[in-house]
Copies of this chain bind each other. A is one copy, B any other.
Amino acid sequence: MAFAPLQNDTFLRACWRQATDHTPIWLMRQAGRYLPEYVATRARAGSFMGLATNVDFATEVTLQPLERFPLDAAILFSDILTVPDAMGLGLSFEAGEGPRFARPVRDEAAIAALEVPDMEKLRYVFNAVSSIRRALDGRVPLIGFSGSPWTLACYMVEGAGSSDYRLVKSLMYSRPDLMHRLLAVNADAVATYLNAQIDAGAQAVMIFDSWGGVLADGAFQEFSLAYTARVLSQLKRDGADGEPVPRIVFTKGGGLWLDAMRALDCEVLGLDWTMNLADARARVGEGAQAKALQGNIDPNVLFAPPERIESEVAKVLASFGPPHADPATPGPTHIFNLGHGISQFTPPDHVAALVQAVHAQSRAIRT
């Protein structure tokens, strides 16, 4: 597949721990409800899944934030629950309720019946990836993504979001054998899914372990981290145009396990706002298994006035510390992001202030 050459490779360079002239920035959920143009497209699509499964709509909303803000990467517009939906669990989004599965997986028979889904059922995702790549026309790289095996398992067992994860943890503590079987299928499905996104044109991939942080120490390593590693071990290294594809892992609430995550075979670790970036850099930013770091400003900072946003950006950049400046060798690098998805209530002007502040301040500390 031939796509247009990349014009802004800052994000990819930072993933590979190469020096950049500014700190690249993109935002989790950057295409979303805080943008009026997104709300308008979603209204035309009729529903969230109507939006996600239509290649033209998915392409349109993926590019919307790039029209407003000079972001350094695009991310596929989709949902982390497409994979279990393709497994036959029956995904729907009720208004104001979040995702729901018609057929949650809660017993031995249901888990025994699970299989890696036919990727043809997810063709709409891969078509969207290729369509977005063409529409981007080389402006910035495109990130593909999936939920982690554990995070998918949470939704598959609970059937919806949860405040206490009682059902999935009951299964995990009562029948760890069944949970391991479920996670193994998920891991192989996620790997196949991400490889198909890479083949379709994704230039980086990210695994969202959104609920890894709800696990107990010990359980995290056994039921989340091990299966993220199983995904990583199966991923293709080169993309559709022959370029290597960096891999990002983000465990929300996973700061306590950074030393364990250091051993993951990936290039970038995402961090939420609870983690001190200087500590993280000291622990995983240098040495043999060094990772680039992505994050980690609290999305609620975006509700403050622009001058406060600027001072909070300065704190995050100062916490990471002096940027890597030698183009000849890999070194610690930082990709600016939120520590979690952007709130639907965020004023778009404040996002503009954030992106501007990150670009301007990070350029200034390099000169």
Contacts and interface: CB of A to CB of B under 8 A. Distances in A.
Interface of A: 164-166, 169-170, 173-174, 213, 215-220, 253, 255-256, 273-276, 296-301, 303-305, 308, 312, 315, 319, 339, 343, 345
Contacts of A255: 256
A304 B219 CA distance: 14
A301 B255 CA distance: 23
Nearest to A213: B274
User: For the complex formed by this chain, how many copies does it contain in all?
Assistant: 2
A174 B218 contact: no
A84 to B, nearest CB: 21
Given A166-B345, A173-B298, A217-B319, 11 more contacts: A164-B299, A164-B300, A169-B300, A170-B303, A173-B304, A173-B308, A174-B308, A215-B273, A217-B273, A253-B253, A256-B275
Contact of A216 (B218, B298, B305): B298
B173 A218 contact: no
A276 B217 contact: yes
A308 to B, nearest CB: 6
A315 B216 CA distance: 11
A213 B213 CA distance: 12
A299 B173 CA distance: 11
22 contacts: A164-B300, A166-B300, A166-B343, A169-B303, A173-B301, A173-B303, A173-B304, A173-B308, A174-B304, A174-B305, A215-B273, A215-B274, A216-B273, A216-B274, A216-B298, A217-B273, A217-B276, A217-B319, A218-B315, A219-B298, A253-B253, A256-B256
A228 to B, nearest CB: 17
A164 B344 CA distance: 11
A344 to B, nearest CB: 10
A173 B339 CA distance: 16
Nearest to A219: B298
Nearest to A173: B304
Contacts of A273: 215-217
B173 A300 contact: yes
Contacts of A345: 166
B300 A165 contact: yes
B274 A217 contact: yes
Contacts of A296: 216
Contacts of A216: 273-274, 296-298, 339
Contacts of A170: 300, 303-304
Nearest to A346: B166
